[in-house]
Structure 1
Amino acid sequence: MNQVEELGNGPVNKLIFKYSMPAIIGLIINAAYVMIDRAFIGNLPDHRGGLALSGIGATMPITTIVMAVAACIAFGSLAQISMALGQADKSKAKKVVGNALTISVISGLLITIFYYLFKDAIFNLIGISPEIYDYANDFISTLMFGTIFSILSFALPVLIRGDGSPNIASLIMLTGAVFNIVLDWIFLFSFGWGIKGAAVATIISQILVMLISLLYMNRTKSIIKPKMNDFKLNKIILSGIFSVGMVPMFTQLSISISQVISNFAFQNYGGVLYIGAMATISSITMLIMMVVSGINQGIMPILSYNVAQKNSERVNKTFFNSLKFASLFLVIAWIAIQFLSSQMVSIFSNDANLRAISANGLRLYNFLLPLVAFNSMVPMILSLIGKAKFATGSNILRQLIIYPVLIISLPIFLGNNGLWLSQPTSECLIFILNFILLKKFFVSNIK
Structure 2
Amino acid sequence: MEQTKEQKLGTMPLPRLMASLAIPSVIAQLINVLYNIIDRMYIGHIPKVGPIALTGVGLTFPIIMLISAFSAFIGAGGAPLASIALGKGDKERAEKILGNGVSVLLIFSISLTIIFMIFKRPLLFLFGASDQTITYAVNYITIYLMGTIFVQFALGLNMFISSQGQARTAMLSVLIGAVINIILDPIFIFVLNMNVQGAALATIISQAVSAVWVVKFLLSEKSAIRIRRKNLAIDFSILKNIMALGISPFIMQATESAINIVLNRGLSIYGGDLYVGSMTILQSVMQLAVVPIQGFTQGVQPIISYNFGARKFDRVKKTYRLTISFTFAVSTIFCLLTVFCPGMFAGIFTSDPELLALVKKVMPIFMAGIAIFGIQMGCQTTFMGLGQAKISLFIALLRKVILLIPLALILPKFFGVMGIYYAEPISDITAATTAFTIFLCVRKKIVSEEALSRLG
Q: Using the aligned pairs only, state the percent identity.
A: 30
Deviation, structure 1 residue 74: 1.1
- RMSD over aligned CA atoms reads 1.6
Partner of 1:57: 58
**Quick one: distance in 2 between partners of 1:366 and 1:118?**
33
Instruction: Look up the equivalent residue of 2:9 and give its one-letter code.
Output: L
Is this contact kept in 1: 2:219–2:228, CA < 8 A? no
- Shift in Å at residue 196 of structure 1? 0.6
Contact 1:244 1:384 in 2 (8 A): no
**8 A contact 1:291–1:326 mirrored in 2:** no
1:219-272 CA-partner distances (Å, limit 9, x unpaired): 223211222111111112212211221110012122211221111111112211
- Structure-1 residue corresponding to 2:309: 308
Name whichever of 83-92 and 436-445 sits farther off. 436-445
User: How many pairs does the alignment contain?
Assistant: 446
> How far 1:386 moved relative to its partner?
4.7
Q: Tell me which residue corresponds to 1:11.
A: 13
Q: Is the 8 A contact 2:68 2:253 kept in 1?
A: yes
1:189 to 1:74, Cα distance in 2 relative to 1, 3 A:
same
Residue in 2 that maps onto 1:318? 319
Secondary structure of the structure 2 residue equivalent to 1:368? helix
Residue 110 of structure 2 corresponds to 109
Q: Is 1:246 matched with 2:247?
A: yes
Q: Does 2:36 match 1:31?
A: no
* Cα shift at 1:383: 3.8
Superimposed CA distance per residue, residues 123-156 of structure 1 (whole angstroms, 9 cap, x where no aligned partner):
3432322221101111112111111111111123
AA paired with 1:30? N
Residue of structure 2 equivalent to 1:237: 238
Correspondence list, 1:274-293, <5 A: 274-293=275-294
1:407 aligns with 2:439: no
- 1:262 alignment counterpart: 263
Q: In structure 1, give the amino acid aligned to 2:148.
A: T
* Counterpart AA for 1:7: L
For 1:169, the equivalent position in structure 2 comes to 170
Matching residue's letter, 1:398: R
- Contact map agreement 2:121 2:138 (CA 8 A) in 1: no
Give the TM-score taking structure 1 as reference length.
0.96
Compute the displacement of 1:164 (Å).
2.6
Query: For residue 339 of structure 1, what is the aligned residue in structure 2?
Result: 340
Which 10-residue stretch deviates more, 231-240 or 212-221? 212-221
Q: Distance in 1 between matches of 2:17 and 2:237?
A: 30
Aligned partner of residue 4 in structure 1, secondary structure: helix
2:451 maps to what in 1?
A: none
SS of residue matched to 2:369: coil
Aligned to 1:189: 190
Q: CA contact under 8 A between 2:332 and 2:372: conserved in structure 1?
A: no
Superposition pairs of residues 339-418 of structure 1, within 5 angstroms: 339-418=340-419
Match of 1:75? 76
How far off its partner does 1:331 sit? 2.0
- Provide, for residues 6-38 of structure 1, a one-character-per-residue CA deviation record: whole Å limited to 9, x for no partner: 222221222211111111001101213422110
State how far apart, in whole Å, the 2-side matches of 1:219 and 1:384 are. Answer: 26
- Cα distance between partner residues in 2 of 1:218 and 1:445: 34
Bigger mean CA offset, 298-307 vs 399-408: 399-408
Displacement of 1:64 after TM fit? 1.1
Measured after TM superposition, the shift of residue 360 of structure 1 is: 2.2
Distance 1:209 1:386, change over 3 A: closer
Contact 2:177 2:209 in 1 (8 A): yes
Which consecutive residues of structure 2, in runs of 5 or more, have no partner in the other structure? 449-456
Partner of 2:101: 100
CA drift of 1:83 comes to 0.8
Aligned-residue offset at 1:113: 0.8
